Structure 1
Amino acid sequence: MTDAALLARIDRLESLDAIRQLPAKYALALDMRDMDAMVSLFPADVRVGKDASGRVALRAYMDRTLRSPFTGTSHHIGGHVIEFDDPDHAHGVVYSKNEHETPVPGGRDEWVIMQMMYVDDYVRADGRWYFARRLPLYWYAADLNAPPTGPNKMRWPGTEAAEGNFHKLFPSYAEFWARDGAQEGPVPEPAPLDGFLNAMRRGASAPRVKVRAD
């Protein structure tokens, strides 16, 4: 192995570790309501909605969003798939199981649990890895004492139940339930090293998401 190849492999390993820490840092900063720490995980020119950009704008947006509809939160990070587009750009999917203390009318609180995943883009700038973009895909949100069985699993207190988008990025879920029995034909060759997520998506575009601060 050449010195250049060895350095490239070391760089990839160090990058993987740095990217894996981003969702954990995000969860800690969000739960502790440290807005400065949270926005430092995004590049200086991060886009905030259609008309704003920069960490100051993101900090103001997150500050507003995290005051309602919940008070305390706890985010538990799960499996994390990371793939590289080039040495300074990557993308990935990471699971998150969240808990929220949520005030409801009448002066009481409910404990809302949520299952979701983030579809992320990552970028390295000035030697540091950042989130370039986070797309949240939700499966359910419901009071701890009311399991979200059946349709319309997004059930925030005081709002109308709605369908989540947890499975919308990957066609296989709908295809599985649309067919009767196992698939026919040979099993395809394994996806390339940095092509697993793209192979699963099979060209599916990202669903439209009403973003929450989760």
Structure 2
Amino acid sequence: MNEQSLQARLDRLESLEQIRMLPAKYALALDMRDLDAWVGLFPEDIKVGKDQVGRAHLKRWIDSTLRNQFTTTSHHIGGHIIEFKDADNACGVVYSKNEHETGPEWVIMQMLYWDDYQRIDGRWYFRRRLPCYMYAADLNKPPIGDKKMRWPGREPYDGGWNQLWPSWQTFWASKPDDALPEVAEPAPLDAFLETMRRGSAAPRVRVR
């Protein structure tokens, strides 16, 4: 192994470690209401809404969201898959199980984030976080049935949990038979997410 190849592998390992820390830092900063620590996980030119750019706008948005909707929160980070597009850009999927005190109810939520990461001046940031929700419901009211997003004071709605994955529609549209099913080759190690996405574009999940 030549020195250039070794340096590239070390750089990749260091990048993986930095990226893996981002969701954990995101959760801790959010739950402890350290808004400067939280917005510092995004680049200076982060887009906020349709026509605003910058950490100051992001800080104002998260401040309003936390003050108006939640008293306390707890975010529990699960599995994290990361794939690199090039040395300075990557994407990933990370599971998150969350709890929220909102008025008289304790709302639990299961979701995943589709993330885009970017390295700027040697430091990795969230370039984009796309939230996809499975459910949100009061702890004592399991979200059985359709429209599993059930926040107090809102009409129930679907959360977009499955929109990233064509396999969901394919599975339910197909019917098993007695013949042995066809089995695809295992996905390449560096293209597991890409293979699961089947070339589909990321959906737009409306923030409510």
**1:180 is matched by which residue type in structure 2?**
K
**How has the CA–CA distance of structure 1 residues 2 and 165 changed in structure 2, closer, same or farther, with 3 Å as cutoff?**
same
Aligned residues: 207
Is residue 187 of structure 2 the alignment partner of residue 194 of structure 1? no
Question: Quick one: distance in 2 between partners of 1:179 and 1:39?
Answer: 44
Aligned partners of 1:208, 1:91: CA distance in 2, in Å?
Answer: 16
Letter of the aligned partner of 1:195 in structure 2?
A
SS at match of 1:67: helix
Q: Give distance in 2, aligned partners of 1:164 and 1:179.
A: 23
My pick for the range that moved more, 71-80 or 168-177, is 168-177
In the aligned structure 2, how far is the partner of 1:186 from the partner of 1:124?
40
Aligned counterpart, 2:16:
16
Which position in structure 2 is the counterpart of 1:158? Answer: 153
Measure the CA separation in 1 of the matches of 2:2 and 2:124. Answer: 26
- Determine helix, strand or coil for the equivalent of 1:124: strand
Supply the AA of the counterpart residue of 1:37: A
Query: CA offset at residue 184 of structure 1?
Result: 6.1
Q: Distance in 2 between matches of 1:144 and 1:85?
A: 39
Please name the residue that 2:58 is paired with: 58
Q: Which segment is superposed worse, 17-26 or 164-173?
A: 164-173
Measured against aligned partners, the alpha-carbon deviations of 1:89-144 in whole angstroms (never above 9, x if no partner) come to: 000000000000011xxxxx100000000000000011110000000000100000
Q: Distance in 2 between matches of 1:74 and 1:3?
A: 44
Letter paired with 2:189: L
1:95 alignment counterpart:
95
What is the CA-CA distance between 1:193 and the residue it aligns to? 2.8
Q: Percent same amino acid among aligned pairs?
A: 65
**Equivalence for 2:73:** 73
CA distance, structure 2, for counterparts of residue 113 and residue 80 of structure 1: 20
User: Once the 2 structures are TM-superposed, how far is the Cα of residue 40 of structure 1 from its aligned partner?
Assistant: 0.4
**Match for residue 204 of structure 2?**
208
State TM-score, norm by structure 1.
Answer: 0.93
1:47 corresponds to: 47
How far, CA to CA, are the matches of 2:134 and 2:102 in structure 1? Answer: 18
Q: Deviations over 1:45-66 (max 9, x none)?
A: 1111111111111111111111
RMSD (Å) for aligned C-alpha atoms:
1.4
Unmatched segments (≥5 aa) in structure 1: 104-108
